[in-house]
Amino acid sequence: MKEVFLKKLILKNFKKIQDLTVEFTDKNTFICGGNGTGKTTLQDAFLWLLFGKDSTNRADTNFNIKTLGEDGKPILHLVHSVTGVLSINGRDVELQRNYVEKWGSGVNAGVLQNHATEFYLNGVKLKTKKEYDAEVAAILPEDVFRMITNPLYFPTMKAQDQKAMLLEMAGNVTNEEVANINPKFQELISLISGRTLEQLAKEIASKKSAIKDELKGIPGRIDSVRDAMPESEDWTVLEKEIADKKEKIKDIDSQLADKSKQMEAEFKAKSELQKQIGNKKLAKSQRENEIRQNANKSYHDVLDNISKLEYQVKSKDAEISRKQEDHSRIKATIEALNNDLEVLRGKFYAIDAETLQYPEGAFICPTCKRELEVEDIQAKQQELQDNFNLNKANRLKAVQNEGKEKAAKVEELKKQCSIIQAAITQLSNEKEILVHNINECKGNMPEEQDTQKIILSDPTWLSLSNEIVDLENQLKAEAKPIDTTELKEAKATLSEAIDELNKKLGKRDTIERSNKVIEDLEDRRDKNNEALAEQERLEFLVQDFQKEKDNKLMERINGMFSLVKFSFISEKLNGNEAITCFCSVDGVPFADVNNASKINAGLDIINAICRSVGITAPIFIDNRESVNDLIPTMSQVINLVVSKDKSLMIRVAGNGTMEEYKQL
């Protein structure tokens, strides 16, 4: 068991207490004083030291720490500090929290700009609040601290938070344990598989809601179908009327068929005449083409020959033009090369005419600046002459080689010019022959014949024309028209009547479909009612299961307490039950018992939590004067008692009538 014992609490300028040191030597400490003397301030100071909050869980930004002057305004330039010494299993730990003012400097000198909090552990200043909070949490986490230091804290927590802590203390009851209590619960084990009981309950509720929504809409859908359903008729009479009218139409169709055969024969005769006329016109057109072709055959043959010859002349002209362009281009190249040869000849003669010229100072010693000896001069002259001759010979050779190369190119191009010129002459001769042939054809062209005159006098063409006129006259001959209007009108009237009767008869299918829809909806309603009953059965089973599980948990949980009892179910006015976490003392709801019972009930809860988490911490009991006797507790108890004392007093010795107090 980890024991946290408050040994000393030092307040400096905290709220209205300027300087106060309280040493806690007994496990049960009594601090007395009138209202407003600072009893609750001690509890606020201890909580602020640890967590930066007061006894009502307000952060220091929401309650006033600073000491106020007579004018009700904070007294400035003070450090507000709380120091506490805790004994943790016999090891002392000193914690200190300071609330300091941040004043400006320079142009802002004398201006209060902000506040800051400083943190100390065993006299050593910590860098961050996070570091300080971690040290405090290592001693005792805040959520556990509040549950085991304030008797009224746990019963006023949210029901789900109370339940979560109780389950953590008692350990949960498994679904299998509950299922073994009653065989009817075995069904739920397979349904719960892979999820929680709460998830299964939500799923059942969702299915119920969906089924109810669908059931709610079915009656309206049935009424809508019935309202839209047409009235029934005598279907047998309708079918007989349709059959009678169809028989009459059949008789009319027979009469129309006879007339149609007569019309078909006349149509075939006309079609045959049109076919003969078409054939005669085709033969007549073919004869015209034949006459035109034969009458001017010689004339057109000569025209075709002239066209071919003229095309050949154009081809020769184009080829001659291309050859002439090639000839001109090569001649220009030859002229350019001849110009280059003239330049090379001049260059050759210029190099050949060059003589050796000794440079100035060529025969002066570069070191001593004196003229060389005669033998040395002659040797130097011979060396210079040899180098000059070699360079001259190389340059002449290079010019000579370049000239030979260009001269060879000129000869090659001249040969090409000769070949091209010969080709041009040949093409010109061929062109003259073609022109001569064209002129000869034009001079011998036969006279063009008048083909229209020949056609109009042709016996075959005249015979075909007469035959076409006779056939067209036969086609124009009017046949007596066949009138079927009356029969067709009678048939149309009967068809319209049949359509109207069929529309009435179609209602039968609509009625049958509507009845089928109603039947399906009623079947769906029955199945949904069965499904709803099944979901409600499962819902009640889940509720019974949860109730049995809660009862099992209650046995285990309530076994941890001597005064209080907890229940996870409360009854509503309508007789239903709600899942909650309900605390009672001797059957009376916690909220309804007197203050003494509430405090002892809270101590009972604290004892159980301390045993569960393995930690004890100082318990502050406010309004202790209202409680005669407290149940035993493992924790340090700091009793805050309202008395007539004008200042805070602490009991230093005695018990009952022999108590002794001293002023703090």
Torsion, Cα of 144, 146, 150, 154 (10° steps): -70
Phi then psi dihedrals of residue 56, to 5 deg: -100, 15
Q: What is the Cα–Cα distance from 275 to 432, expressed in whole angstroms?
A: 58
Q: What is the Cα–Cα distance from 440 to 298, expressed in whole angstroms?
A: 15
Does 227 score more than 60 pLDDT? yes
The pLDDT value recorded for residue 575 is 47
What number of other Cβ atoms are within 10 A of residue 610's Cβ? 22
The pLDDT value recorded for residue 258 is 73
pTM of the model: 0.51
Q: What is the Cα–Cα distance from 143 to 162, expressed in whole angstroms?
A: 12
* Angle at 486 (CA atoms; ends 485, 488), nearest 5 degrees: 65
The share of the chain scoring above pLDDT 70, in percent, equals: 94
Tell me the torsion sign for CA atoms 45, 51, 55, 58.
positive
The pLDDT value recorded for residue 478 is 54
pLDDT digits (tens, 9 = 90+) for 534-544: 999 999 999 99
Quick one: which of 93, 84, 100 has its CA closest to 135? 93
Domains and CATH numbers, the chain: 2-140+617-663 (3.40.50.300), 297-448 (1.10.287)
14 pLDDT tier (thresholds 50, 70, 90):
very high
The pLDDT value recorded for residue 480 is 56
Based on C-alpha coordinates, what's the Rg of the chain?
Answer: 66
**Mean pLDDT (whole number) for 416-433:** 93
Q: How far apart are the first and last CA of the chain?
A: 32
Does 655 score more than 70 pLDDT? no
**Mean pLDDT (whole number) for 446-462:** 79
Q: Mind giving me the DSSP string for 232-255? A: P--HHHHHHHHHHHHHHHHHHHHH
**Mean pLDDT (whole number) for 17-30:** 91
Query: Using H for helix, E for strand and C for coil, what is the string for 66-123?
Result: CCECCCCCECCCCCEEEEEEEEECCEEEEEEEEEEEEEECHHHECCEEEEEEEEEECC
Looking at 338-347, 372-381, 566-575, which range is the least confident one? 566-575
The pLDDT value recorded for residue 116 is 92
11 pLDDT tier (thresholds 50, 70, 90):
very high
Does 29 score more than 60 pLDDT? yes
The share of the chain scoring above pLDDT 90, in percent, equals: 44
Report the length, in residues, of the chain: 664
Give bridge partners of residue 506 from the DSSP assignment: none
Q: What is the Cα–Cα distance from 547 to 553, expressed in whole angstroms?
A: 10
**Mean pLDDT (whole number) for 284-310:** 82
Report the mean per-residue pLDDT for the chain: 87
pLDDT digits (tens, 9 = 90+) for 176-197: 888 888 888 888 888 888 888 8
Does 373 score more than 90 pLDDT? no
